[in-house]
Amino acid sequence: MARPREFDTEAALDRAMDVFWSKGYEATSLDDLCVATGLSRSSLYATFGSKRNLLLQTVDRYSESRTPNLAAVLARPLPIREAVGALLGQFIDQIVAGPGRRGCFLGNCAAELPRHDRGALARVRQGLARTEATFRDALARAKERGEISSSTDVDALARFLISAFQGLRLIGKANPDRAVLEDIAKTILCCLDQGTHGSKAA
């Protein structure tokens, strides 16, 4: 059966992503995806090729839709510590409220996908690399403004921040206690404080 002419591929990807995000790749059935997207099995295969290919497209969709939001927060006219703090605050609010307890979609995929599926893991790495690059760009701008030490390795700090955010979201899945999450956030921000202190001392 051909897909309807008014079919919205991006909306279908968003709905499929929600299913994968909530249930996990293995636990998501074709029937789950058909219900979510409103497509029959034949239309689902005709549009996306396979369940695995659909997952890969949702990974790309996640990166394309979430990275601009992250970049917008980090691009605010604020010191880097305040910008990262605002981002951490958003994540904590989402975790405490409930929706954020699903964790990071990319992190979930990285944890669940089998190691031998190198193609799928490569797509996840690409998504994580986009997030890392967004942090790196923000840190580079902060370094130019003198907000962090001139000796700061922004590549290493960007990798640390993406790992720290992943860890925060992982902890939030099991323990959505605001006080615990805010303690973690304060420790993350200490790394930026040290960079700022180093800059002042230079």
Considering the domain architecture, whether residues 90 and 43 belong to the same structural domain is answered as no
Considering the domain architecture, whether residues 40 and 14 belong to the same structural domain is answered as yes
Enter the tokens of residue 184: 């973690």
Considering the domain architecture, whether residues 134 and 158 belong to the same structural domain is answered as yes
Note the pTM of the prediction, 2 decimals. Answer: 0.85
pLDDT mean over 156-167: 95
Considering the domain architecture, whether residues 95 and 142 belong to the same structural domain is answered as yes
Q: What is the pLDDT of residue 100?
A: 85
Q: What is the pLDDT of residue 198?
A: 43
The answer to whether residue 195 scores a pLDDT higher than 90 is no
Counted domains in the chain = 2
Considering the domain architecture, whether residues 77 and 157 belong to the same structural domain is answered as yes
State percent of the chain over pLDDT 70.
Answer: 92
Nearest to 91 by CA among 104, 102, 100: 100
Range of the domain at 80: 56-201
Considering the domain architecture, whether residues 101 and 194 belong to the same structural domain is answered as yes
CA–CA distance, 86 with 189 (Å, rounded to integer): 11
Of 4-18, 65-79, 112-126, 155-169, the range with the lowest mean pLDDT is 4-18
Residue 43's domain is classified under what CATH number?
1.10.10.60
Residue 61's domain is classified under what CATH number?
1.10.357.10
Considering the domain architecture, whether residues 60 and 45 belong to the same structural domain is answered as no
pLDDT mean over 39-44: 93
Considering the domain architecture, whether residues 68 and 34 belong to the same structural domain is answered as no
Enter the tokens of residue 23: 């249930």
Give the burial class of 32: count Cβ atoms within 10 A of its Cβ; 0-12 exposed, 13-18 middle, 19 or more buried.
middle
Boundary residue ending a domain (9, 27, 49):
49
Considering the domain architecture, whether residues 42 and 92 belong to the same structural domain is answered as no
Q: What is the pLDDT of residue 202?
A: 36
Considering the domain architecture, whether residues 72 and 150 belong to the same structural domain is answered as yes
Considering the domain architecture, whether residues 42 and 80 belong to the same structural domain is answered as no
